Chain A
């Protein structure tokens, strides 16, 4: 016993210094752990993004015998005179405006369905999630065939209407191309957000539902007053991620329509890639990217403001 006390007393002065020591050590550890991620982020994100912003004010080209020169706002003046750019903006907004509510809503419905405690629910969870783990390029190629004039979609339509309706050439008609891509994109992405909603649903304590049942709440009331408020954090996350994903629509367009027909499916990101690589206009593409960045940032900030904690 005495030896223990003696030992403790001997430790005491050491312990005092230990707090500062430990803190220093802790921050060293933190620094050590953060360094790899920070370095990678700086090298592969911050530097390229800064470079891209700088390039937007030059005449940089993909293939060029001369180094890039500063040209001020020339790329932006050209951009604001470019009719395709306005179509890209309009199509991107259209896509986002439809996809965000549709995909989020459908995902929530699916999540509520597969949250039911019935046998075989895992099967449905897997089925709904399958498109998400399939490559978008593969999905787009397959749907390109489905959407053909003589494709499966039109065969089904024809069979269901007993041959009275001949479906359009979905991707070849300016009025149906974008809706067709929206439908496919929602089908592909809905599983992912279903899982997020599902995770949110399972954080809601079961006691709340029991209490609601005791109070004689209807199914709708249970959803309105227990489930919906319980999903507040999830809601914000789903909203922001779908919005950003919708704005960056590219792969489907590149594979399925290349922006056509008649620019009905060109999007901001597709235009940036097309001008930057296919047309070698690096600086012009950088200007488009800069505007895209500002656009996404401001929409995200507005969403963040609208969904903030109000207390």
Chain B
């Protein structure tokens, strides 16, 4: 049942995927040549959130577990990368993968108690976890407490080892690399027997159990993989901004909620939904934030209000996200596991 490499290659070489990949690869360099750092940053953010939202959706869209606490994995990933490079001089190229692994371990650790809870109780626990992690890191001296950790500036010759470049488009390519790895891994999972079981759990957990599925085991698997790639997204954040602090990487709104909103806007029942959602929501959020903060500097938080209204409108008119809306209109169709 597992998708073979030839099938993945066939999917990867289909025209829309090739066009999208081409644009993604060419655009960053174009942005660099055209000297548009603001847009380049938007693109980096969109990719970083796409990685996290894709990972989040393995739990939500495929397994039916809504997490509003993915900042835990994002933050742990960001801090792991930072601690390794600042205290142990480990290159972020390795640190990013260690970050994923540590985040996955945290995910499995949280999964044991959290998966005793169902539906909204699970969600509440994830929110609480995010806040607890923020508190702990705020008061943990080793990681710089609330001031966070900062990477020192290195001479240009060591740029590759420390992944420190002035030009932001470099980071876009790093993010693209991580996203590519993630897409291959996730695609193999969701088209496998395990992915089919995850969806059965989403549909009805008790029915899945009586059909012989060890639902706890599969939910843990989804959690581990989801946490791994969210951790890598956090690592990208640390690498890109050379600085992490608890208030930024463990934030319940700009991390946990943004990840979920990006996924929901794109469409949780479509494989690529979270990518589409991230590329729409993050630029919109960044644009709104920058323009509104510039125009109404005294009205702190007004941009969040505007984003709330945007989300409300999407929920009303496209409750299944953009890809869900397109499916309903007949523009695209959802891929079925079995068609006979």
Do A and B assemble together?
no
A residues near B (Cβ < 8 Å) are none
| B-to-A contact residues, CB < 8 Å | none
